A = this chain, B = another copy of it.
Amino acid sequence: MKAAKIPEVAIMRLAVYLRYLLQLKKTGQKITSSKEIATITGSTSAQVRKDLAYFGEFGVRGVGYDVEGLYNAISHIIGLDRSWDIVIIGAGHLGGALVSYSGFADRGFNIKAIFDIAPAKVGNVVEGKKIQKIDSFSEYVKKNKVDMAVIVVSGDSAQKVADLVVKSGIKAILNFAPVVLNTPLDVEVRNVDVSINLETLAYYMVSKGS
């Protein structure tokens, strides 16, 4: 039924368009165009139209796109018109920062639980949520719906944690540890790699002769 394979970058761009559409909605603007979206989001009008074309027709020729309509359409495509239950594994500085970050809840990603190995941390409360011991993870997943797991542990323990997550049946992982996780094909992993981004900047500086 679903036709051509859709490039991941197209989804990422759609998510960026969506942010801009939210802004427009707030300002009360009713109509926009592929050109306008492109200018603000650093894309091109052809690209915007192509990205949308993967999923259907959302505009009116000669007119443009209805802001609210397009917002709703993209929200539904990505799955942001529903909520997702996520768990955070690792209650270090970064894990704590993620729990405190309100941007998640705004987009429908609800942090339902936090886990850590360190006995010293277990029982502590972050943003109203009690840190649970990692040993109780499988038990927790059995009893509760968990859509995604966020791994925020050290590189050393990341693979072990990933194995645990996979075994529990969770199919989506957001990984902050600077390692390539080994997971089955039906488990989807995204890596947020701060170091590598800094390193490409370093390369840029070197290549420009700094």
Q: Which residues in A have some Cβ–Cβ distance to B below 8 Å?
A: 2, 8, 11-12, 15-16, 19, 40-42, 77-80, 84, 86, 92-94, 96-98, 100-101, 103-104, 107, 109, 147-148, 171-174, 178-180, 188, 190, 192, 194-208, 210
Contacts and interface: CB of A to CB of B under 8 A. Distances in A.
Contact of A180 (B42, B79, B104, B178): B42
Q: Number of copies of this chain in the oligomer?
A: 2
Contacts of A180: 16, 40-42
Contacts of A86: 198
20 contacts: A2-B207, A8-B200, A78-B199, A79-B202, A80-B199, A84-B205, A93-B100, A94-B97, A97-B97, A107-B195, A107-B199, A147-B210, A171-B205, A171-B208, A172-B201, A173-B201, A174-B194, A190-B197, A190-B201, A192-B197
B11 A198 contact: no
A11 B97 contact: no
A100 B97 CA distance: 12
Given A15-B199, A103-B195, A178-B103, A205 B96 contact: no
